[in-house]
A and B are shown apart, each in its own frame.
Chain A
Amino acid sequence: MKEQKKKTGFARLMELAGERKGKLTAACVLSVMSSAARLVPFFTIYGVIVQLFLSYNSPENIDAGRIWLLVGITFGAALIYGICAYFSSALAHTAAYDIIYELRIKLMEKLAKLPSGFFTSSTQGGLKKILSDDTEQIEIFIAHHICDISAAVATPVFTLIYLLFMDWRLALAALVPIIISLLLLGMCLNKPDKAALQTEMHDAQEKMQGTIVEYIHGMPVIKIFNRNLSAFRRYENDLDGFVGAVTKTAKANANPMAAYYAFFGAQLLFLLPSSVLLLMNAESYLDFLPVVFLFLLVGGGLKEPLETMMQMVITSNRIIEGVNRMDNILCAEEITEGSGSVPTNYDVGYENVSFSYGDDILAVDDVSCRLPQGSITGIVGPSGGGKSTLVQLLLRFYETGSGTVRIGGTDIRDIPYNELTHLVSYVFQDSFVFHDTAENNIRMGNTDASFEQVREAARNAGIDDVIMNLPNGYKTVIGEKDAFLSGGEKQRLAIARVFLRNTPIVVLDEATAYADAENEAKIQKAFARLAKDKTVLIIAHRLKTVEKADRILVMKSGRLIRNGTHSELLESCPEYADMVAANERRDRWTVKSGGKERTA
């Protein structure tokens, strides 16, 4: 492996292991000892056989003391094996879970320092996978594989050294079939057409998995349209496709694999004739015979550890991938911490702000505007026009590409991040409700608030009666049995949080407002009272709700195409006028079956 400036794979994992390295080393040493102890019987048996040959035809004269000693050693080795194996595994597991725990904490601490823009909906699933699945894989690797690998490497090496020392010719004879079988396997795996088959198999597997997931997720549609399994033809096709690919690969590999296994088990075929040839030419038949027996015994003992060794190599590849994915988080750029002073007035200013999500398209393109404190600003425009991105820049979800966002004249990058959260609050499109009591969910806005203040905020957000109807009122844990909130209720809860937080700048995304038309007027009334002297930004989807705003920003393709009041825009901005017309058409529309038309 090339030396890079950053460690990868196994080396990086060891780096992450930090102070647990000692424990891990101890576990590995113990693991090697335990597998060495498992080899002891081979040698005690050899010892017994040597004794036996000394008095083969008069067994009663055998050196009993020697035999008892060997028996004792055998039992001792079993005990040492048990103890070493247990402590090795215990140490490895403890170290593994400690490392995983620390890794997860490290990852999570890191997440809190990343700009919010890092967490798009597409990354959330990936994050969960990294935090749960990948770290678990690493646990298996550390707890089992590292020790197993060290034992799997150490055992055959020890044995081989011993055997070479006993008789190098027989040692080679025992090795020949193993070398042949490994060469066969290597040849088989390295051939380009075999590699292509492997890829084909993986592709077929992925396709099958995709189809299964689709089948289940699309089941409501399949059922509603009365399509059966055979109509969803890909389900069976892709299952067949996978079986076909596996069959093809298996058939192509059958000969080399069979040869591999046949050679792997053929030590005796090579050992026996070589032993006889050596015996025939040995100085003393009787002296050499125990060595032959030793090889007959140990020859077979070589192959199993070698087999595990190879399996380990295959699994360790997956770990490396997992570690790399974690590093993507651990090394992601953190949000820079501002050290300037906190602004004292709350005008918001965008100065030539541009931002791009990394492609060549500017999501926000050279926007400049000033939103004075105590005014309300509506942001309108087609979806994808940059409305949300513009306000997310104010919250430092992303860092501006060029230009500056200022609050009260201070560049927001100079404001300590925690202070910024006390300046700006935001009602998200999808309001997230935590698995906690209703009270605590609202109290997030201000942890020092009294219960009465929490309730007041809830009342203003039109959610108090909903909460009071829950089984335990404000003490109900949201998300548990019988305590679910609808999308609109969640949004009202989020509004209550913002009311309680009482920041000088408020951003509101009214995407789900329709869910709760009933409460809208109430909330608007409370808002008018509570948001006095604040700087308010509203991402509007219905123009009617921002008609009375102090100014409306019309966004399209990232650009701020016009900035003015409703009546100004109606006159001067054709895009706005079109939007208003479309809105009116939409609001006039009603559902009617047409059979018996009614007129309003």
Chain B
Amino acid sequence: MNGFKEWFRTMTLGQTKKYLKLFAWCMFDSFVVSIPYAVMLLAAYVLLIPVATPGTPLPTDRIWILTGVLLAQFIAYFFVRKKSYLDFCIGFIGTTKTSRIEMGEHLHKLSMGFYSERDAGDLSTVLLRDYSEIENFTQQLLTQVATIMTRFLLAIIFLSAFDVRMMLAVFSVIPLSIPFAFISMKRMRHESENLQTSQQKAASGILEYVGGIQTLKAFGMAGEHFETLKSSLNEQRHSAIALETHAAAPISMIGRFILNCGIGIVMLIGALLLTGGELSPFYYIAFLLLSLTVYDPFLILFTFIADFARSKRCGDRIRKLFEEKPLPETKDPKLPESEDIEFRNVCFGYGSTEVLHGIDLSFPSKSVTVLVGQSGSGKSTITRLIARFWDASGGEIRIGGVPIKDVPTEQLVSKISVVFQDVYLFHDTIEENIRMGKPDATHDEIVEAAKKAACHDFITALPNGYDTMVGEGGSTLSGGEKQRISIARALLKDAPVVLLDEATSSLDPENEVFIQQAISALVRDKTVIVIAHRLQSVCNADRIAVLDSGRIAECGTHEELLKNKGLYAALWNEQEHAGSWRIK
């Protein structure tokens, strides 16, 4: 029962009350739809009067009254249906909207770490597809169940008034068939898990094939790799066929067969009772006329089985996303007084593997510290911990003497600017994209920041200047231009701490000079932490920390480290030696 409750909450997106209301109206709707069936029975009775009592003429006035009732129902139903139509179109979409907004707010609370681990595409799928699936499914299910319940209740009341034995005969097949629906649903769920695995395998195979086809072709391997993909597609085909033909379908079909037998049973038992003189011919006819309308909605319910499992998966994904916990907010907020950052014996791991082991490092206010090391040595993890993507698993990070866990997130974020390697621009004007850095910035402030970040010239050269819309994902601007806009944002924000990840991919030198110019403006008088790839550009830093497999190997100025003849000196020498490609 608890499982059902949870399912119901998930499916109604937490707005159970609203759905109950809609459900009640649905029942009323199908009640009005059922009126003609009652009229039909009465009409049958009236029409049979001349047969039951030969010689009596047909009481046409009663038929006209019944026609009047039908006309009234017809008019009334117009209005009922109008309301149902509006309620359905608007009601469901409204709940979806409310829940999507809740989800939007929830997602905003989750840590940056969450976003660096999860694929944004998957998250969008939940917000788009899963929500629509649930919306469609609940809409259909709600109508069907309401129809079933109304017809069921009406049938039980009226039919038992006629003859209880016959009523039981009508309904006998329903409890017999329902277990088949459940068994088939269960098998379906089980089988569809198998299918999903093979589907995922095939899908990632397709993705890899499409993504790597240039490489495959360049090595003349398209055919060979294709065989693997072919076999996983074949596997998917077989498990899909198995699901459809072996697992659920035969059992569900038995259930449907049993339901369809219901009419035969009513016919049979009615005939037995009739010949035994225990049932009047009119009642017999009444049961025959009505029994056909009882089963249809149940049959439709059987066709929902596949959707049921699918929509449950959608609902589960939505629920799981809601269950993601943001990083704990402190109950005792403290504000840092300076921007000195200190790592004290900090450990951190992604999952079970620890990537930082006991880091002790301080970043004095208004100094430039450079992190150097091989890829995977933990450089970017350190900067991410400062921005509180995650909480350290051991040790403590302090800013201005206060543990960052005790600084309210908003305060912490306002102190830090991050210049990402991959820049995301919104589908909005260039001006608004820069304004991200400071919501209340004036146009002049924005132009000022753009000038400092070497953006102004290319922006004014665009057709609408600062009002030019940026294509989705910033696609209409070049990589270097996007980089500079993101730096302009950070300049506008003017946070005292700057975390900088030097770009690994090289642009043409002119572009890079512009970016360097922008960075120089950004880091002026700031506490700067740089992840460096080119040692040359950072040899003037106040301090260079060399990381090796999650530990600080050495630390000091460029000159000190060169004298040290350690890892840094080796790296420096290598870079100095890297020269021109040549063939001996």
| Interface-lining segment among B8-16, B42-50, B393-401 | B42-50
Given the interface pairs A421-B220, A587-B536, A590-B539, the reply to whether A382 lies near B508 with Cβ below 8 Å is yes
Given the interface pairs A591-B540, A593-B523, the reply to whether A93 lies near B244 with Cβ below 8 Å is yes
Question: How long is the Cα–Cα vector from A464 to B292 in the complex, in angstroms?
Answer: 75
A210 with B472: CB separation less than 8 A: yes
- Is B319's beta carbon under 8 Å from chain A? no
A227 with B367: CB separation less than 8 A: no
B233 with A128: CB separation less than 8 A: no
**Which chain A residues border B366 with CB–CB below 8 Å?**
593, 595-596
11 contacts between A and B (CB under 8 A): A44-B267, A48-B288, A216-B107, A279-B47, A280-B58, A304-B296, A425-B219, A514-B504, A582-B509, A592-B523, A599-B540
Q: Give the nearest-CB partner of B373 in chain A.
A: A518
- Is B104's beta carbon under 8 Å from chain A? yes
Shortest CB-to-CB span from B304 to chain A, Å, is: 13
**Which chain A residues border B560 with CB–CB below 8 Å?**
none
B375 with A376: CB separation less than 8 A: no
B260, B436, B519 — which one has the most chain A CB atoms within 10 A of its CB? B260
**Which chain A residues border B375 with CB–CB below 8 Å?**
486-489, 515-516
Question: How long is the Cα–Cα vector from A49 to B284 in the complex, in angstroms?
Answer: 9
- Is B181's beta carbon under 8 Å from chain A? no
Shortest CB-to-CB span from B19 to chain A, Å, is: 17
Given the interface pairs A52-B284, A591-B541, the reply to whether A586 lies near B86 with Cβ below 8 Å is no
A521 with B577: CB separation less than 8 A: yes
- Is A168's beta carbon under 8 Å from chain B? no
B219 with A497: CB separation less than 8 A: yes
A466-486 toward B: CB 8 Å interface, digit per residue (1/0)?
A: 000000000000000010001
B209-248 toward A: CB 8 Å interface, digit per residue (1/0)?
A: 1111111111111111110011001100100110011000
Q: Give the nearest-CB partner of A64 in chain B.
A: B275
Given the interface pairs A532-B584, A545-B579, the reply to whether A591 lies near B519 with Cβ below 8 Å is yes
Given the interface pairs A421-B217, A591-B541, the reply to whether A517 lies near B533 with Cβ below 8 Å is yes
A444 with B581: CB separation less than 8 A: no
A247 with B90: CB separation less than 8 A: yes
B60 with A280: CB separation less than 8 A: yes
**Which chain B residues border A266 with CB–CB below 8 Å?**
70, 74
Question: How long is the Cα–Cα vector from A430 to B317 in the complex, in angstroms?
Answer: 33
Question: How long is the Cα–Cα vector from A68 to B402 in the complex, in angstroms?
Answer: 90
B217 with A518: CB separation less than 8 A: no
**Which chain A residues border B428 with CB–CB below 8 Å?**
234
**Which chain B residues border A521 with CB–CB below 8 Å?**
574-575, 577-579
**Which chain B residues border A447 with CB–CB below 8 Å?**
221, 224
- Is B154's beta carbon under 8 Å from chain A? no
Shortest CB-to-CB span from A396 to chain B, Å, is: 9
Question: How long is the Cα–Cα vector from A29 to B289 in the complex, in angstroms?
Answer: 29
Question: How long is the Cα–Cα vector from A231 to B70 in the complex, in angstroms?
Answer: 55
- Is B97's beta carbon under 8 Å from chain A? yes
Question: How long is the Cα–Cα vector from A94 to B249 in the complex, in angstroms?
Answer: 13
B261 with A78: CB separation less than 8 A: yes
Choose among B71, B439, B508, B534 the residue that contacts A517 (Cβ–Cβ < 8 A): B534
B97-126 toward A: CB 8 Å interface, digit per residue (1/0)?
A: 100110011011000100110001001100
B264 with A71: CB separation less than 8 A: yes
**Which chain A residues border B104 with CB–CB below 8 Å?**
215, 229, 235-236
Q: Give the nearest-CB partner of B225 in chain A.
A: A434
- Is A564's beta carbon under 8 Å from chain B? no
| Interface-lining segment among A82-90, A406-414, A450-458 | A82-90
- Is A570's beta carbon under 8 Å from chain B? no
Which B residues, 497 to 546, have Cβ-Cβ distances below 8 Å to chain A?
500, 502-513, 516, 519-520, 523-528, 530, 532-542
B350-382 toward A: CB 8 Å interface, digit per residue (1/0)?
A: 000100000000000011101000111000000
Choose among A56, A101, A258 the residue that contacts B52 (Cβ–Cβ < 8 A): A56
Choose among B240, B413, B510 the residue that contacts A382 (Cβ–Cβ < 8 A): B510
- Is B257's beta carbon under 8 Å from chain A? yes
- Is A218's beta carbon under 8 Å from chain B? yes
**Which chain A residues border B116 with CB–CB below 8 Å?**
220
**Which chain B residues border A297 with CB–CB below 8 Å?**
289, 292
